[in-house]
Structure 1
Amino acid sequence: MKKEINIKTVSREIFVGIIIAAISIPIGMGYAQIAGLPTVYGLYGSVLPILIFSLISSSPQFIFGVDAAPAALIGGVLVSLGIEAGTKEAVEIIPVLTLYTAIWLLAFYIFKAGKLVNYISTPVMGGFITGIGTTIILMQIPKLMGSAAGSGELFELVEHIIIAVEHINWISFAMGLGSLAIILVSKRIAPKFPMSLVVMALGALSTAFLHVDEYGVALLSQVESGLPKFVFPDFSLIHFKDGFMLSLPIAVVILAESLLAETSFANKNNYKIKDNREILAFSLSNLSAAIVGCCPVNGSVSRTVMMEQYGAKTKIVSITASIVMAVVLVFATGFISYLPVPVLTAIVISALIGVLEIHLAKRLYKINKTEFFIFMGAFAAVLVLGTIYGVVIGVVLSFAAMIIKSAVPPRSFLGVIQGKEGFYDLHRNRDAKPISGTVIYRFSGSLFFANINTFQNDLDKAVDENTKVVIIDAGGIGSIDITAADRLEIINKNFHDKGIEFYITEHIGELNDEMRKLDLGHLVEEGVVRRTIKSALREAGIHYPYSIDGEKQNESQMKNLMIQEEILQEFEWAFGEDAEEQMEKHVEEIIANISIFTSELTPETEIDLKTKAWRHLDSYDQDRLLEHLERHLNEFAARLGQPVDAVEANIMEHRIRLEEKMKKENRVFYEVYVQKREKYEKLLQKKNPELHKYIMEHRKKQYDILKETNPEVADRIKKWIY
């Protein structure tokens, strides 16, 4: 929300502050009565608490004060304690409960309970706010007809309305309905015009000159003049445990209702609030309410909406409203008794109509029926069960919506297109064709208990008797839970038993760490995880250009495409911090199986292709593998039956060829890798100086030989001698 402070805007903010103060008079007095206090305390709660909140809050527009939900809850507490509303006992015990509420809110601030709002979706928030607005409107309707305000939830409120209809005062109803119609029409024709203030003034004039009170029209009751006196709550009036437990629901309602409403206004007007700072403001505002003897105070949706309608944008409104209310208490309490209740009620209802998010409900109904029903569920929960249950049900609905959406995430099967590189959704690309004998399945969503069945069922349906390879594009999978991990184990075994090779690819490296924690580390070690779809295909013996329906892709169309080896470091990606340890295991497997694949080592020997897992390594990982083989020179040479120096010479030749390939693939990445390689060597020197010395001696020997026979090659390996 952009704020430009100048004479014009300050004048507007002050003017709106006066309107808010005027509107707060009937609202505050009415809710004070619902709470069980004399009406004047509703005005007391509209001075210091509003000022304290405005000074601390990070919201430029939200208004605090005596409000419906906490007032109704306090009234209910009095009933449960057997205390009659309006009595001295009620006046003494309510500040104690307000103070306990402030303490609870302070605890919420300390423990950063504002994160609750992060789990509330837009449909839930919209339903929640609409439910509160509707509840307060239903509370106000009896006042239009000359009766007292309603209280409770939907069924109690309807009962109050029926009783009010039976005892309707038609003049009161006509004044209220007429005022409401005038304000609503004015909002359409001239939304910036302060018609509410005009209607209020006309109401006061009708009392002064037409004496509408003589016809049964209720007026606001007379209040004594003067600022509120500070009181110190008497904790002896209620047991500590009872006070804390009875005030907890009130604190939760204030936290949830105020923070949700603030967040809604902030989102709508494009500014940010600091959740935890708001909770501190809630706490200190209620502390100030306690010391003036008032009931707990809360964020006021109706007054904030009215401020918004008049284009006000800053805290000047709240500060002005607080000052004006103080002036009214000192000098103008006589004016209050001229204000007709139905006229003021119409003003409140007109403001609340603006808060109902009917437009959001219509939008959701058109675009997403599930979210529409979530909106209606939150709305009904607040209306029928009350604010606190509405909050709980709203959170449950938010999580339910998330689970429902996650249970059937976006997913597709992939193929290739003649003449193009990459893999494409078979359903959304007419030219895409599946690779023969291969299923490539993209799953976009965290894999967990709610969607693992979907995952498995999709694969089962896609696999047939011709399938040889199943590859998961897990680029959209951010995490897996234990249920999904156990099922992946079963899926892998089932495919293995059918002779189908199974791979998980494209995912973030952290997912490999998570798999190891969930006892799926053997899948990583066995090479089931591959960094890319291409590397998985190569691992399975499916090489580019790929076969489509038994025919090779048209190579003439592909000849201009640059198909390069992926520039990867798969071991580091797959094993993270354990990459060095796993590379050593890989080396041990190679040495243990040397007799199977070769009788001697030459520069042409494909060392990395001869192990069960990780049969294909990219250039960078091959270089790391050769460096690890150097650490086992004696054992490696003995298994080959070759001299150690000959084996070292061939390893060096391998590394020189790889270096040429790496430079060609990506010069920048190669230079970064050289730096990392030097770091590995220095780390080995630090951790195992004897082994490092042993390797360096053999390298130096090779260097001395090559310096005489092949100076060019000798110069290229000089950097490996530290």
Structure 2
Amino acid sequence: MPGRGTRKGSEVTQPAHAQRATLPSGTGLRPDVIAGLTAAAVVLPKAMAYATVAGLSVSVGLYTAFVPMIVYALLGTSRVLSVSSTTTLAILVAAQLALVVPDGNPAALVVTTATLTALTGLLLVAASVLRLGFVANFVSAPVLTGFKAGIGLVIVLDQVPKLFGIHITKEGFFRDVLSLVQQLPESSMLTLAIGGVTLLLLLAMERLWPHSPAPLAVVAGGIAVSWLAGLSAGGVATVGHIPQALPSMTLPDLGLVMQLLPGAIGIALMSFTETIAAGRAFALPPEPPIRADRELLATGAANLAGALFGAMPAGGGTSQTAVVRAVGGRTQKASLVTAAASAATMLVLAPALGLLPQAVLAAIVIVYSIGLIQPLEFAAIRKVRTMEFGWALAAFAGVLVFGTLQGILVAIILSLLGLAGQAANPRVHVIGRKRSDDVLRPLSPEHPDDETFEGLLILRPEGRLFFANAQQVSDRIRELVAQHKPRVLMLDLSRVFDIGYSALLVMTEGERRFAEAGVTVWLAGLNPDVLRYIRSSGLAEHLGNDRMFANARAGLRRYLEAPPGGGSDADAKESFGRSDAKGEATPE
């Protein structure tokens, strides 16, 4: 999903400036050290906030910005991609953990998270071994737009109660909205004031200084105010105790695998989709290309290693990678510096982080999740393709109605149905010739003067012809033959890149029926593979060389020189303009 502009600071789609970037200046380690430290100021507060979205301790966010980032730095193909937690992954993890650990038992959450992260990593590694990197392209951009917009609303609603200092029981998006409204009178004005000020500061700083360490600034300010004013004693919820140590070893529980597998599949797909999108967005022309299968291996290994040290599922983040690139990062050494900063935070700053108000983390999550909702993208999709706009809306509604994990399933199914629908409905163009020029192109209202030829009908199907569309294409061809009543039907197969056995049977039967009706079938423009299949089927031998042509122009010249079925050359050359067929005006 490369090349789309997005709100600065979001982790949604690739910012346009990534396509225009140039290689940063500077030599040695200094640019990467500066980039890594700057990225840490953005990544670490957000990682802690995303951990709370998943219902986990903020320390899990630090673990996720530590081990996975190191492993990806050693194995990934992107020079600057920063790998840790993201908003989308956090909400998917939250949904899965809520199913398996509904009571929120801390010990059970640790083991379940380790198992989920390890399973996600195993799925990604297995996909790499099977060379399934192309699967990332199966989720269409409109469907992903709708899915992420739904996720964005769910995340914002999940964090709003923390801004008001209230708690609601999660029962689904629409019920949660009702519960929130009912409990607003119980809000803590002090908590709301802290959250509201944090929101305003973050929005202002992001607008004035994009990619600045704004999250670090508000975290530091929140800790200072909490300590000076004794907010915890005043009833404001804070992060609480954070272990002052590096992550300890955590082993997955094999007994949870079957429960977690459906969610892990969705999380693995989203992790890889976000990683490959962010990696491609920030790859510069002089740099090596992003290799999808290697990215699967790198993100899989990163998650496997992270699982053993308490991390939640991780993937490439667009906003943090934008920071690395914007301040001059050139290699994965920047990620190693960020990981070192995460370790230093765990060892030195953990006690201070415990004073941080939950409302400040909620404000960070909201600000960096709003970017998932892109109304302008919906409008752009609707302007170009109404059908795909419908897919985007369906994916959006799927998340809100069915939930996040079911929503990703809806998104995948919609993408596959869209792909199947396009493959099952290939176009069949009526071809004409541009007057006074040797250009054959589909007839269209934009070119009403294009000429066709008495007794000859040239049709050009597009795409792969196989069992799912063979009969439909055949029916469309029969309709056009009945409409135009030609003596010769020339099928220009130059846009058909593959033909299946079922389609060959339908073509052979169609030729026989046309012959009985007095219509001669010619074939033109066969690529080597299609020609080989047609020869193997015996159809080429049946037609003979005089009814098969290298391209449609050669067939047209043959027809004009000696039209079969009678008629003078002058009659054959007599053209009549037709503009009743629809098609895209592109030259042959």
- The equivalent residue for 1:21 is 44
State yes or no: 1:4 paired with 2:24.
yes
Q: How does 1:548-587 map to 2 (within 5 A)?
A: 550=571, 552=573
CA contact (8 A) 1:17 1:317 kept: no
Per-residue deviation at 1:416?
A: 4.4
Cα displacement (A) at 1:411: 4.1
2:417 alignment partner in structure 1: 400
Q: Out of 337, 361, 367, which is 1:320 matched to? A: 337
Q: Quick one: which of 22, 31, 53 aligns to 2:72?
A: 53
Distance 1:388 1:108, change over 3 A: farther
- State the TM-score, normalizing by the size of structure 1: 0.66
Shift in CA distance, 167/527, structure 1 to aligned 2, threshold 3 Å: farther
* 1:297 equivalenced with 2:313 (yes/no): yes
- Alpha-carbon offset, residue 516 of structure 1: 4.3
Instruction: Please name the residue that 1:333 is paired with.
Output: 350
Distance 1:426 1:86, change over 3 A: closer
**1:437 matched to which residue of 2?**
455
Gaps of 5+ in 1: 555-722
* Residues in 2 aligned to 1:417 and 1:295: alpha-carbon distance in whole angstroms: 64
**Residues 414 and 440 in structure 1, CA contact (< 8 A), matched pair in contact too:** yes
Q: Is the 8 A contact 1:16 1:312 kept in 2?
A: no
Q: 1:186 to 1:418 in 2, by over 3 A?
A: closer
SS of the residue 2:106 aligns to: coil
Q: Quick one: which of 70, 73, 85 aligns to 2:105? A: 85
TM-superposed CA distance for 1:119, in Å, is: 2.0
Picking from 509, 517, 529, the partner of 1:510 is 529
Amino acid at match of 1:444: E
Give yes or no for the alignment of 1:370 onto 2:370: no
Match of 2:431 among 414, 418, 438: 414
Taking the aligned partners of 1:430 and 1:302, their CA distance within structure 2 comes to 48
More helix by share: 1
| Matched residue type, 1:63 | V
* 3-state SS of 2:276 partner: helix
Kindly report which structure 2 residues correspond to 1:324-363, keeping only aligned pairs within 5 A, or say none.
Answer: 324-363=341-380
Q: What per-residue deviation string (whole Å, max 9, x for no partner) do you get for residues 324-354 of structure 1?
A: 2222222222211332221222122212223
Distance 1:435 1:300 in 2: 57
Provide the secondary structure at the position in 2 that maps to 1:332: helix
- The structure 2 residue matched to 1:246, chosen from 259, 265, 268, is 259
| Deviation of the 1:259 alpha carbon | 1.0
**What is the count of residue pairs matched by the alignment?**
538
State the AA in 2 paired with 1:70.
V
Partner of 1:269: 282
Deviation at 1:117?
0.8
1:295 deviates by: 5.3
Q: Name the CA distance, whole Å, in 1 between partners of 2:531 and 2:134.
A: 30
Task: Pick closer, same or farther for the CA change 1:133–1:61 going to 2, 3 Å.
Answer: farther
Residue identity matched to 2:97: I
Distance 2:569 2:203 in 1: 67
Counterpart for residue 185 of structure 1: 204
Shift of 1:136: 2.5
Q: Are residues 101 and 523 of structure 1, via their aligned partners in 2, closer, same or farther at CA, if it must alter by over 3 Å?
A: same
TM, length-normalised to structure 2: 0.79
Q: Distance in 1 between matches of 2:535 and 2:116?
A: 52
1:476-504 superposed Cα distances (whole Å, 9 cap, x missing partner): 12223344333323331222112221112
Show structure 2 runs of 5+ residues with no match: 1-17, 576-588
| Counterpart selection for 2:488 from 469, 473, 491 | 469
Conserved in 2, the CA contact under 8 Å of 1:63 and 1:303?
Answer: no
**Whole-Å Cα distance in 2 between the matches of residues 287 and 416 of structure 1?**
60
Task: Identify if the C-alpha distance between structure 1 residues 481 and 245 changes in structure 2 by more than 3 Å, giving closer, same or farther.
Answer: same
- Higher relative contact order at CA 8 Å, sep ≥6: structure 1 or structure 2? 2
Q: Is the 8 A contact 2:128 2:293 kept in 1?
A: yes
Evaluate the alpha carbon distance shift between residue 92 and residue 359 of structure 1 in structure 2; reply closer, same or farther with a 3 A threshold.
Answer: closer
Q: Following TM superposition, by how much is the alpha carbon of 1:250 offset from its aligned partner in structure 2, in angstroms? A: 4.1
With 531-540 and 113-122 compared, the bigger mean Cα shift is at: 531-540
Q: Distance in 2 between matches of 1:84 and 1:191?
A: 36
Identity %: 22
| Contact 1:474/1:504 (8 A) holds in 2 | yes
Q: Residues 419 and 365 of structure 1: is their aligned pair in 2 closer, same or farther, counting only changes over 3 Å?
A: closer
Q: Which of these residues, 115, 122, 129, is aligned with residue 110 of structure 1?
A: 129
Query: Which amino acid letter does the alignment assign opposite residue 241 of structure 2?
Result: Q
Residues 206, 375 of structure 1: CA spacing in aligned structure 2 closer, same or farther, 3 A cutoff?
same
CA distance in 2, matches of 1:50, 1:164: 40
Aligned partners of 2:398 and 2:410 also within 8 Å: yes
Deviations 1:244-279 (A, max 9, x none): 323423431332111111233234435543222233
* C-alpha contact (below 8 Å) 1:417/1:431 kept by paired residues: yes
Distance in 2 of aligned mates of 1:488 and 1:63: 52
Distance apart, 1:221 and its partner CA = 0.7
For the structure 1 residues 523 and 230, does the alpha-carbon distance in structure 2 shift closer, same or farther, using more than 3 Å as the test?
same
Residues 19-43 of structure 1: CA deviation (Å, up to 9, x unaligned) = 3223333433x256x25xx654444
Q: How does 1:221-260 map to 2 (within 5 A)?
A: 221-231=240-250, 233=251, 240=254, 242-260=255-273
Q: How far does residue 211 in structure 1 lie from its aligned partner after superposition?
A: 3.3
| Residue type at the aligned position of 1:330 | L
Distance in 1 between the 2:152 and 2:493 partners?
A: 45
2:584 matched to 1:533? no
Residues 355-403 of structure 1 show CA distances to partners (whole Å, capped at 9, x for unaligned) of 4343322211112111212222233334443454344433332233234
* Structure 1 residues 358 and 476: alpha-carbon distance in aligned structure 2, compared to 1, 3 A threshold: same
Match of 1:158 among 149, 152, 177: 177
Please, what is the CA RMSD of the aligned residues? 3.6
Q: 1:228 to 1:469 in 2, by over 3 A?
A: closer
CA deviation digits over 1:52-87, x for unaligned, max 9? Answer: 2333222322321483423542342234xxx76124
**How many Å separate the matches in 2 of 1:260 and 1:382?**
18
Contact 1:302/1:351 (8 A) holds in 2: no
Structure 1 residues 137 and 270: CA distance shift in structure 2, 3 A: farther
Q: Deviations over 1:186-233 (max 9, x none)?
A: 3333325443333333322322333333443221112232223335x3
Instruction: Tell me the CA shift for residue 177 of structure 1.
Output: 2.5
Counterparts of 2:390 and 2:439, CA distance in 1: 40
- Measure, in 1, the Cα distance between the counterparts of 2:435 and 2:68: 71
Are residues 305 and 128 of structure 1, via their aligned partners in 2, closer, same or farther at CA, if it must alter by over 3 Å? farther
Contact 1:119–1:395 (CA<8 Å) still a contact in 2?
A: yes
Distance 1:389 1:53 in 2: 29
Q: Distance in 1 between matches of 2:569 and 2:449?
A: 11
> Residues 615-634 of structure 1 correspond to what in structure 2 (within 5 A)?
none
Matched AA of 1:358? P
Secondary structure of the corresponding residue to residue 550 of structure 1: helix
Write the letter of the residue equivalent to 2:417: A
d(CA) in 2 for partners of 1:522, 1:497: 18
Alpha-carbon distance in 2 for matches of 1:552, 1:450? 34
CA distance change for structure 1 residues 55 and 74 in 2, over 3 Å: closer, same or farther? farther
After TM superposition, the structure 1 stretch with the greater mean CA deviation from structure 2, 413-422 or 197-206, is: 413-422
CA contact (8 A) 1:507 1:531 kept: yes
